[in-house]
Chain A
Amino acid sequence: IAGITQAPTSQILAAGRRMTLRCTQDMRHNAMYWYRQDLGLGLRLIHYSNTAGTTGKGEVPDGYSVSRANTDDFPLTLASAVPSQTSVYFCASSDSTSGSDTGELFFGEGSRLTVL
């Protein structure tokens, strides 16, 4: 089934540890995004990539890094996790050819991360 796959689906992590959330899409979409979703708040953009080889900072990038070595993969790394990074993380992609956010977003199933 075509779509976006995220791993892990759930993880409990000790503060200070390094963690990478994986995201793979098979739709050949140019643009990919990482969001976090917290209760009572809208989805907040962490980082994005308009095309392979390029990345950009979103609204809440501090403490996170990304890479886009190829079209399909867009991993998100927490270099040294802190409790405030406890959240549900969603990876998304869109078939955006201009880099604009006017295309429908396709979301992965989410990764629930708890930092203790």
Chain B
Amino acid sequence: GQNIDQPTEMTATEGAIVQINCTYQTSGFNGLFWYQQHAGEAPTFLSYNVLDGLEEKGRFSSFLSRSKGYSYLLLKELQMKDSASYLCAVVDSNYQLIWGAGTKLIIKP
């Protein structure tokens, strides 16, 4: 079966750095997405990786290793507004999106 694993919940301090991991086992791979979802709101796009390596976008970076079936989202200079759930999703060989259950990130002052 296809599987996406993310930690259920993480806690970090304002101003710090946090890394949210995502491991996947899917039938094929055609890219990986990260979305942010604030409580009670819609998911919004953060990043897309299809090649190995690090993609940096402001305070957020996303890393991919296809050989390890692994990605992480790195958030720097954490702000209270970063408190949200972070969803990892993989595009499989049939170009279907497989979603992880999400990681709830709690930021403390």
Contact = CB atoms under 8 A, between A and B. Distances in A.
Interface of A: 40-45, 90, 99-102, 104-110
B101 A45 contact: no
Given A43-B87, A102-B31, A107 B95 contact: no
B99 A44 contact: yes
Interface string B41-56: 1111100101000000
Contacts of A109: 41-42
A43 B102 CA distance: 9
B96 A90 contact: no
A109 B39 CA distance: 11
A110 B42 contact: yes
Contacts of B42: 90, 107-110
B99 A101 contact: no
Contacts of A44: 99
Contacts of B44: 107
Interface of B: 4, 8, 30-31, 33, 35, 40-45, 48, 50, 87, 89, 91, 95-102
B96 A45 contact: yes
Contacts of A45: 96-97
A90 B101 contact: no
A112 B102 CA distance: 19
The residue in A41, A90, A105 that gathers the most chain B C-beta atoms within 10 A of its C-beta is A105
18 contacts: A40-B101, A41-B101, A42-B4, A42-B98, A42-B102, A43-B89, A43-B99, A90-B42, A101-B96, A102-B30, A102-B50, A102-B91, A102-B95, A104-B33, A104-B48, A106-B45, A107-B44, A109-B42
Contact of A99 (B30, B43, B89, B95): B95
Contacts of A90: 42-43
Contacts of A42: 4, 87, 89, 98-102
Nearest to B4: A42
